[in-house]
Structures are given as C-alpha cells and as structure tokens.
Amino acid sequence: MRYITRLNILGGLAFISFLIAVRLVYVSGYGLPIRVNWGTPGTLADVDEGPPLADTADHRLVVFGDAWSYTGARLHDQGRGWPEWVCAKWPCRLETYAQQEHTCEGPFCGSVVDDLELQKIKSDLNELREPLPDLRAQVDRWLTNENDAIRNDPAGGDLRTRVNDTVFAVSFVIWDIWKFLHEPLDDNIKSSISRSIDSLFGQLDRLPAASESDDVRVILMLSIDPTFLPAFDASTGHKDMVSIVEQWNKELQDKAREWRGSIYIFNTNEFLVDQIRAWQYYVGGILDSNGLWEQNPWDDVEHPCAESTGKWMAAFGNEGKKCENPEKFLFWDGMHVGPTANEMMGAEIFHGIETSWIKNAENHETEQADATTPINRRMFRRNAGVSSGR
C-alpha cells in the first residue's frame, strides 16, 4: 500500500510538471480581447468587430506611455521598440507620444498615468522634481497636433475619419507601480490605484468625445512586477508588491470591460514572467530529453546588457559597458527589456489585434457571408467576447 501511494504521488507530480511545461512551451499569446457593445456599458456582446482596418499603410498606430514604448533615435544595439515591430508587420504609420529615454538621478522619473496622483502619494518629493509627462499631457499634445493637421490639410479628413483609421496604444507599465515600492497594500494604496485607473479611462474617454467616433480601438498594456527588473534592490524589501500589481491589473481589466469601445489587453507581466520561467526550465534541463527548450532565446534574464552611468536609464553619451550579444539578454538596462523581447512583444500584439481589427474589406465580407458555418460562428464568438488565450 505504501509503495502504491508513493507511486501515485510521484506520478501526480510528474503530470503537474508536464502540464506546467506544456503551458510554457505552447503558450500562444498574452492578449485579452474585449469588445463592449457601444451604448450598453458593461455587457459583452457577440457582435462583429466593426469596420475592418485594411492592411495598408493608410492606417496608423498612436502610442501613449512610458519609455517601454518609446521609439526612434534609439541606441543601435537596442533595436526597434515593440510599436515599430507592430507597424513593420501590419504595416502602419507610427506616431508616438510616449516618454523619451533619458538619464535620471531621482527615484521617480518615468511617465505615469496621472502626475497629480503621484504628488498625493509622494508629496515630499515634489520640490525636488519636475512634473512628469503623464497621459493627460500626451493626449493634449496629440489633440493639438490632430487639429493642426486638419487645419493645414483639409483633404486629410475630419477627426472622426482619422480616429476610425487609428489604433491607439496605452502603455504605462512601470512607474505607477514603482511608486508603491516598500508600501503595504492598505486602503490608501487601493484608493490611489482606483483614482489612477479612473484617470486613465477619463483620458481615453476624450478620444471618442473629441472625434465622435463610435469605434475607438485601444491596445492596453498591463503593468509589470518591478521586482523582476535589474534596477530593483531586493535588499530593501518589497512589502506587498505582488498584491499591488495584481490589484492594479485587476482594476484595469474590470474598468476595460465597462469602457465603450474596443480594447485589446496585453498581459505584459505574464509575458515577462514566462520569459524568466522558461529560461529557468531550460537551465534546469527540465524536459530537455524530449527536445524542448532548444529555441530558448536567452543567455541572461537577470542582468542588463547595458550598464548606465545614470541611476535608471541609459541615454546618449551616458551608456557604460555593454554586452556583446544584446539580443540574448532579456533586459537592455535596469528598467527596460531588450531587442528580442521587444520583437516578441510586437509579434504577440500584432497577432492579437490581427484577427479582430486588421482585415481587408473583401475578406471581411466573405467571413460575414460564411458566418452560418459552425467554424465561423465560433470564430466570431471568440473574437467578440473575452478569452485568456487561444
């Protein structure tokens, strides 16, 4: 009896390990597509995804966020940012209002959703820093530039037409969580998180309000656990950081389900954790006898490729020692992922929005005509609702 019990336990543990490994190997996406029926907030509808965006360069991707999404004038070895990879695969015209990379000596220097909220939480730092470029400021800039473009080129269409040809991306993944380091998840922190999430969607509401568009499309990136970043000092402790990240991401997703538009949520934290976990499995030799993990892309998932002479961010004239193979490092510097991770994220995000938003009109009409088949009914239902993977 004892032998059978031990055998059953070993077999159960082996099966669980197998399931975990299969999850890591075959995970095909980190996206959560959400379509809320316009005019019926909070209800998920089995409806068509709206007018398709043709796969031509007539469409664009507009990015708001922190330096994780900054593009252009990057260090050569750092490679393209994930938005550039999305537009390389689409293709699309890219406009970014995300924060530029720069050297920072202070504890808070990255873009946040709402700088006023940061002042409430870290009021003792306000005299020592400049206001951060938050989402409100970035949306202000975008609206100003749009109105200028319409005045200068009336043939370019009105704001509604331009918005209907646009996918927006909102990517604030670090600093709104970083400000809670070493803090307990109490009622004050929960209230601060709720205010920030409300502020984020308040800014998103400006897009349909200004344009009168009824089909605003938004890529929304979840926050990450900053304790995984090389810049995090584990010796100082991190209190309830995991719970804080979970609280932020849960409220973000709950609010997204109530928003009147089309949202594709990218689980940035799950993506990051999976890369680290996959490397650990590879190094540990788990399932290696079956030929798995032969394509593991990483040599290092803990240390940055580039060492900065500044405190957080490497910038022009500020880079220190760099690794010889940046494509094999998960992290470029202490706060940002490297070129391979950006390419992987761009591919995942592109494939996540491709089914719902990037179709040419001819294929769209064909799918509607064939929607009576069981396969197409399942396809429309999956794309219109909420799913955690494919």
Residue 19 inside a domain? The answer is yes
319-322/306-308 β-pairing: antiparallel
pLDDT band at residue 144 under the 50/70/90 scheme: very high
Residue 381 inside a domain? The answer is no
Count the domains in the chain. Answer: 1
Residue 385 inside a domain? The answer is no
Residue 47 inside a domain? The answer is yes
Which range among 2-16, 107-121, 204-218 shows the weakest confidence by mean pLDDT?
2-16
Which range among 30-39, 231-240, 320-329 shows the weakest confidence by mean pLDDT?
30-39
Residue 327 inside a domain? The answer is yes
Provide the pLDDT for residue 310. Answer: 47
End-to-end Cα separation, the chain, in angstroms: 42
Residue 88 inside a domain? The answer is yes
Tokens of residue 15, six digits: 């099966």
Provide the pLDDT for residue 295. Answer: 62
Residue 283, domain CATH: 3.40.50.1110
Number of H helices, E strands in the chain: 12, 10
Element (H, E) at 73: none
**Rounded Cα gap, residues 191 and 187, in angstroms:** 6
pTM of the model: 0.77
Residue 215 inside a domain? The answer is yes
Element (H, E) at 157: none
Domain coverage including residue 361: 6-371
pLDDT tens-digit series, residues 184-228: 899 999 999 999 999 999 999 999 999 999 889 999 999 999 999
Residue 390: count of CB within 10 angstroms of its CB: 11
According to the per-residue pLDDT averaged within each range, which of 57-61, 106-110, 194-198, 271-275 is highest? 194-198
Provide the pLDDT for residue 281. Answer: 78
Which range among 32-46, 53-67, 277-291, 315-329 shows the weakest confidence by mean pLDDT?
32-46
Residue 251 inside a domain? The answer is yes
